[in-house]
């Protein structure tokens, strides 16, 4: 279970500043259980964007955005709408955003910050990792997380430790995260993005509030509504 | 203002040197290394827990240089201190007479002698440069006002031999935007490649000191080629080190190669940064023979 929350409206609008049209993707997995980003949350996101003059070329939800094969098979049906959009906003956890980014050659922008991991992830079986940092930077890095893909979690580009074959000097089997980010942004013709000085990172967000860790964001932990509890006492549901 | 900033502003071709604090408390050899550089270099870098191998501290070493009337470049890495400690040490550095600060991200803990230590990397080089800038403007990173602001001459590093070089250049631009006033480079052996690099960055208008690491042995050259990203010792230099073992052992080969490199880069950049790795006694000879005395 990855707990997420919607990024502030201003941050989402700032990320799509240069885009005329957007495609929206939501997740019905744990993200939906946090009451964020599932099918019911996308209309609000669409309204926000339309209010700012953006065209929505389409939207869809996938049961588990962390399952890349599922993501790819489901998104295929929306190929034309996705191609028409300038960018794709994904309202889910860092893993789901990266799975979508790895599946479409478009700027993929996070609609949420991932703030806490509580319990099992979905059916995610690929290489994408999310550090639940609560300060998602995927918009600036071509949908590849620098926190989990760079051994030093650098936010402004690579250190001098990139090997000539694009690996990391700390572990030569591992790709240099910033080499991948560089190649992705190059493919997207968006290398200018790399020139923006990012951070310093809000490490305070790593510590989720007690509020977030209890009750309200967790379907499984949510208090039983009073009416249902009362009904249970009376044995009406037998 | 520091001698380094003034000499760079005058457009002089200058030399900086480097010393590494010891593993332990016997600081004498390290200070002796610095004495070899007296009158020969504009400033002396003091490494900060170099290669993530635990050592004596750079702040104390820099202060000892200041006391001896030698100008230090205080190297700071982001691996071991969070932004609280970095800012605090910067304030201390100013009061201890340190003016030049070289901002680096730092080698990863895994590559050093305490691989199980916790990597900090709260900031990285770009963030540290911004942090220095903020303190200079009289505020801390949280926006609080300082009772006394430290003036610094901040610098940064770049690896001209790292591929794809565009990735390094974009980051170099960010470091400049974040306040870097000079650059020292990773070790250069390939003058043509360095010339290409300088051709792409000279428009930035920030002085670059070309890095030179003295070649101590064939083994060291091979080790760097295999393990140090962005460093490429060409085969012809390795063949030279192999051909005359006596010359290599005595350091004569290292001197000759360094002098040739200086001659090659002299018209391309604003100076050289010599990293002797303990062979500091050879530096005066290199400077004399390169005609920089």
Return the residue in B124, B156, B166, B179 with the most chain A beta carbons within 10 A, the one to mutate for interface testing.
B124
Q: Identify from A153, A165, A200 which residue to disrupt to test chain B contact, counting B C-beta atoms within 10 A and taking the largest count.
A: A200
Q: Are the CB atoms for A196 and A140 separated by under 8 Å?
A: yes
Backbone angles phi, psi at A125, to 5 degrees: -125, 20
Which of B81, B122, B171, B226 is the mutation pick for testing A, counting most A CBs within 10 A?
B171
Residues in chain B, pLDDT under 50: none
Backbone angles phi and psi of B280, in degrees to 5: -60, -30
Q: Which of B131, B170, B229 is the closest to A157 by Cβ?
A: B170
Smallest CA–CA distance, residue A171 to chain B, in Å, is 9
Residues 87-106 of B with CB under 8 A from A: 105-106
Domain positions in chain B: 14-284
For residue B123, list chain A residues with Cβ-Cβ distance below 8 A.
Answer: 199-200
Query: Of A152, A157, A203, which is closest to B108 when you measure between CB atoms?
Result: A152
* Tens of pLDDT, residues B101-110: 999 999 999 9
Determine whether the interchain pair A170/B108 forms a contact, defined as Cβ–Cβ distance below 8 Å: yes
Side-by-side strand order, sheet with A87-91: A55-62, A21-27, A87-91, A107-110
- Whether residue B127 lies within 8 A of chain A, CB to CB, comes out as yes
- CATH architecture label of B14-284: Alpha-Beta Barrel (3.20)
pLDDT at A204: 86
Nearest residue in chain B measured CA to CA from A147:
B121
Q: Which two tokens stand for residue B60?
A: 């104390």
In 3D space, the residue among B208, B229, B45 whose CA is nearest the CA of residue A159 turns out to be B229
Query: What are the residue ranges of helices labelled H in chain A?
Result: 9-15, 30-33, 42-51, 68-76, 79-84, 94-101, 146-149, 177-187, 210-213, 226-234
Nearest chain A Cα to B105, which residue?
A159
Domain A2-144+196-219, CATH class in plain words: alpha beta
- Name the helix (H) or strand (E) containing B226: helix B218-227
Domain boundaries, chain A: 2-144+196-219
Contact between B59 and B97 (Cβ < 8 Å) = no
Give me the tens of pLDDT residue by residue for chain A, a chain 238 residues long: 677 888 999 999 999 999 999 999 998 887 666 666 566 789 999 999 999 999 999 999 998 888 888 999 999 999 999 999 999 999 988 989 999 999 999 999 999 998 876 655 555 667 788 888 989 999 999 999 999 999 999 999 999 999 989 999 999 999 999 999 999 999 999 999 999 999 899 988 887 777 666 655 444 455 555 555 555 554 444 3
With an 8 Å Cβ cutoff, is A173 touching chain B?
no
Cβ pair A154:B121 closer than 8 A? yes
């Amino acid at each position: 279970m990855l707990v997420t929350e919607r990024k502030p409206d201003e941050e989402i609008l700032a990320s799509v500043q240069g885009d005329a049209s957007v495609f929206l993707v939501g997740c019905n997995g744990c993200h939906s259980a946090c009451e964020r980003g599932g099918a019911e949350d996308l209309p609000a996101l669409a309204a926000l964007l339309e209010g700012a003059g953006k065209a929505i070329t389409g939207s869809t939800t996938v049961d588990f955005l962390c399952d890349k094969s599922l993501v790819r098979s489901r998104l295929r049906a929306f190929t034309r709408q996705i191609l028409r959009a300038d960018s794709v906003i994904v309202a889910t956890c860092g893993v789901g955003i990266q799975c979508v980014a790895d599946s479409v050659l478009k700027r993929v922008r996070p609609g949420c910050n991932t703030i806490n991991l509580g319990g099992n992830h979905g059916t995610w079986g690929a290489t994408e990792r999310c550090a639940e940092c609560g300060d998602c930077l995927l918009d600036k890095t071509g949908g590849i997380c620098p926190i989990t893909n760079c051994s030093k979690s650098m936010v402004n580009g690579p250190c001098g430790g990139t090997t000539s074959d694009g690996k990391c000097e700390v572990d030569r089997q591992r790709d240099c995260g910033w080499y991948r980010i560089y190649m992705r942004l190059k493919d997207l013709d968006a290398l200018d993005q790399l020139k923006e000085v990012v951070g310093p990172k809000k490490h305070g967000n790593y510590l989720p509030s007690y509020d977030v860790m209890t009750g309200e964001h967790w379907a499984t932990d949510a208090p039983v509504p009073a009416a249902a509890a009362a009904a249970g006492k009376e044995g009406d549901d037998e | 203002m520091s001698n380094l900033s003034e000499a760079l502003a005058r457009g002089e071709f200058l030399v900086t040197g480097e010393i590494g604090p010891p593993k332990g408390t016997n600081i004498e050899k390290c200070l002796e290394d610095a004495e070899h550089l007296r009158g020969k270099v504009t400033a002396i870098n003091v490494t900060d827990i170099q290669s993530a191998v635990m050592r004596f501290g750079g702040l104390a070493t820099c202060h000892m240089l200041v006391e001896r009337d030698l100008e230090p470049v205080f190297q700071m890495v982001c691996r071991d201190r969070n932004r609280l400690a970095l800012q605090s040490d910067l304030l201390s550095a100013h009061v201890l007479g340190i003016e030049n600060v070289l901002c680096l991200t730092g080698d990863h803990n895994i590559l050093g002698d305490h691989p199980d230590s916790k990597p900090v990397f709260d900031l990285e080089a770009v963030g540290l440069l911004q942090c220095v800038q903020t303190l200079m403007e009289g505020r801390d990173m949280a926006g609080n006002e300082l009772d006394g602001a430290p003036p610094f001459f901040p610098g940064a590093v770049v690896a001209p031999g790292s591929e794809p070089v565009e990735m390094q250049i974009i980051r170099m631009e960010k470091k400049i935007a974040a306040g870097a006033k000079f650059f020292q480079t990773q070790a250069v052996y390939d003058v043509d490649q360095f010339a290409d690099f300088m051709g792409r960055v000279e428009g930035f208008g920030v002085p670059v000191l070309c890095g030179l690491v003295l070649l101590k042995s064939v083994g060291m050259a091979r080790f760097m080629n295999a393990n140090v990203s962005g460093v490429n010792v060409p085969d012809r230099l390795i063949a030279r080190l192999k051909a005359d073992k006596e010359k290599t052992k005595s350091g004569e080969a290292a001197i000759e190669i360094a002098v040739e490199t200086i001659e090659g880069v002299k018209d391309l950049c604003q100076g050289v940064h010599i990293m002797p790795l303990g062979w500091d006694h050879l530096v005066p000879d290199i400077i004399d023979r390169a005609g920089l005395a």
